[in-house]
Amino acid sequence: MNNLEKHQEFVQKNGKEITGINVSVVLSEEENKQTDLKFTFGWTISIGVNQHDHGAYRPSGSGTVNCGRGSEASSQAHSDAKKYISGKDSLFNDRMRKCLCNDVAKNFVLANQDLHSAPEQYVGEDPCHNCGGSGSNSCYSCHGNGKRSCSSCGGSGRKDVQKYDHHNERTVYSTETCSGCWGSGKTRCGTCSGTGSITCGTCNGGGYLYCSYTIDGNAERSTTWLSENSDYHVWSDTFVKNQALNIIYSINDIKEVDAGNSFGGCTFFYAMKGILPTLQFKADVKGGSTYLQFAGRKNLTHDAGGVYDPAVWSIGQKLGSGDKETDIEVLAVPAIKSIVEASETKTSLDLVTQNWVSTDIRDAVVANYHELVGQLKKASNKGIVSKMFTGLFKNAYLLVMFAAFVALLLPGFANDVSGRFNLWNYSNLVDAYFNGYYRLFGVHQELSFRMQQGLNIAIAIFTLWIVHQGVSKYYWKQIGKFKTFIITLIITLAIPFACLTTYWAMINIINYKFNVEHLLLGGSLFASVYFFFWAFAKPKKWYIKPLAAIGAFVVIIGVQYALMVLNGPIDIEALKAGNAPYLKQLSNMIMPAMQYILLNGPEIILMTVLFTYFATRRRFWLNTKATVSEYNSPVLLKSMKMD
């Protein structure tokens, strides 16, 4: 088998493996040439002065030169750098010589070298730009006054108090002197501990900022080459440039022409010769002809001329056509799979860089792939708005019904709900917590006000970090940093609110009597409304929905009638006039429950919106992931951010 037949068999076999179909390629016009090349390469030593900022910390250690101001340190460093540039001090040249060896071939693959810094560091200091060198600033919380308006009473000195008189069954309202400020309306500032000034955070109270300058050296690599004979393939230039340092592995007869010759004490030069074998074929493919080009001892592909374009495009054009089974088959083809993965991971692909498949075909395949991704994303959100609105009404009513059950079961508890901790005064709690007034249920009372404030902030930051780790690890899909932070913040704020609300409810529920009768009678109305709409929405066929609604209505009437009979004798005339004792009793039960629901309205709305949004998004995401998983394509899952 001659060289032409060997390459033709390779091209056809390789094409079959990566496309799954027979690739029709016929090679002819073989051209084999030997090109003599000469390389010159070396490193130029460059010297530079770099500045390093150290903030409030003064650099120390061996080689430290204290120069006064920062400008004086810069001037001294630039002055001393001249001895390295002129070659009077051979420090960086000596370091470069240690990187080189006697083997020119090994030196050839050596890239740019970091020669590190000279032993001296030139230190300067300048007054802090934030405090002007004083080391302190006016307190931002109290504006230098040392006192702040009391957060408990709002600066009035008195607080409104309401208590429930269980003996007389009434709520008593009164005012009393604020215990937080003892009636003055002012409290000591927790940020500055009453001094009116705080330590400058820029210089840590030292008044000065420090910088240093170092003299750094680098060896920058450069390579030139030329052909010593005119009979060579014109594309050899491109091959040599593309291969860069790797060209040495494709050259024969390596000789050291010149080694160790220096220039000005700062630059090292080497030169070498080699032979570059080049090979070219004409390739006839479907729709025309092209050229295949190889080079080097191992026949590295320089340019395959896009010989696989017709085969790859005959498959790739079907991608994103709207047929799921076809898309699955196309994504399973090795060539299509490699092109898509390289595009999504931003990596190079030999199939394209060596031009087995042209960039035009690659871009066309990638465009079709993005069309498929767009179709799947569009399908994943289809119907989500209607589902979200339906979920809002359903979840809102379930929370309303739960609130009504609580109010009916514990009427006394519901009557006192206006005095509980709620969403409207949550901001006051947060403000008091971060200013050190909230003392963690009496713990750490011996700590100073400033230390308590720092402890509270540390606990809040630690909690935020813990929640952030949990969201990053356990959230059901990949989200960006901003969304992760927003969700973390919501959960972090919700935790203390939920805990304090639950704590308040638990310690107060034991003081009230349970009224099961009210729960059964009044709760049946709320449950009946939900049952009616559930029965109407349950059937899939539209003509069954009215029948289901009628059946549900009959059941509701039957239940209410049974409860009315159990409640006592029925006065038909009073019932017709809407003046029956049962109806009055039912009305008296429902009204306090409705008032309780209104007072808890903000929490109900907030919980409904958050729960509905995340629950609906998660349900649609899981359905979409199940659909995308059927394509058996990890890169498609990655593109959909579902991996």
pLDDT tens digits for 573-585? Answer: 544 455 556 667 7
pLDDT confidence of residue 513: 83
pLDDT confidence of residue 249: 46
Measured in degrees and rounded to the nearest 5, phi and psi for residue 590 equal -70, -40
Contact by Cβ (8 Å): 305, 290: yes
Identify the top-confidence range among 392-406, 434-448, 619-633.
Answer: 392-406
Mean pLDDT of 66-73: 92
237 vs 407, which has greater pLDDT? Answer: 407
Per-residue b or e along 157-186, where b marks 16 or more CB atoms closer than 10 Å to that residue's CB: bebeeeebeeeeeeeeeeeeebebbeeebb
Mean pLDDT of 522-539: 86
User: In this structure, what DSSP letter does residue 518 have?
Assistant: H
341 vs 560, which has greater pLDDT? Answer: 341
Confidence label for 276 from pLDDT (cuts 50, 70 and 90): confident
pLDDT-above-70 percentage for the chain:
86
Q: Is pLDDT of 324 > 70?
A: yes
pLDDT confidence of residue 192: 87
pLDDT confidence of residue 212: 95
Give the span between the Cα atoms of 310 and 23, in whole angstroms: 8
Q: Which of 307, 358, 371 is nearest to 639 (CA)?
A: 371
Residue-wise pLDDT for 466-495, tens only, equals 999 999 888 877 788 888 999 999 999 888
**DSSP code per residue over 267-313:** EEEEEEEEEEEEEEEEEEETTEEEEEEEETTTTEEEE-TTTTHHHHH
Looking at 381-480, list the stretches that DSSP marks H as alpha helix, in order from N- to C-terminal side.
384-409, 411-415, 426-434, 449-474
pLDDT confidence of residue 519: 83
Mean pLDDT of 226-248: 65
pLDDT confidence of residue 442: 47
Please tell me the least confidently modeled range out of 34-38, 392-396, 536-540, 626-630: 34-38
pLDDT confidence of residue 260: 45
pLDDT confidence of residue 262: 44
Please tell me the least confidently modeled range out of 22-36, 240-254, 325-339, 525-539: 240-254
Contacts of 102 (CB under 8 A, 6+ apart): 259
Average pLDDT, the chain: 81
Measured in degrees and rounded to the nearest 5, phi and psi for residue 258 equal -150, 130
pLDDT confidence of residue 242: 64
User: Which domains are seen in the chain, by residue range?
Assistant: 26-126+211-284 (no CATH), 136-199 (2.10.230), 381-410+514-621 (no CATH), 419-513 (no CATH)
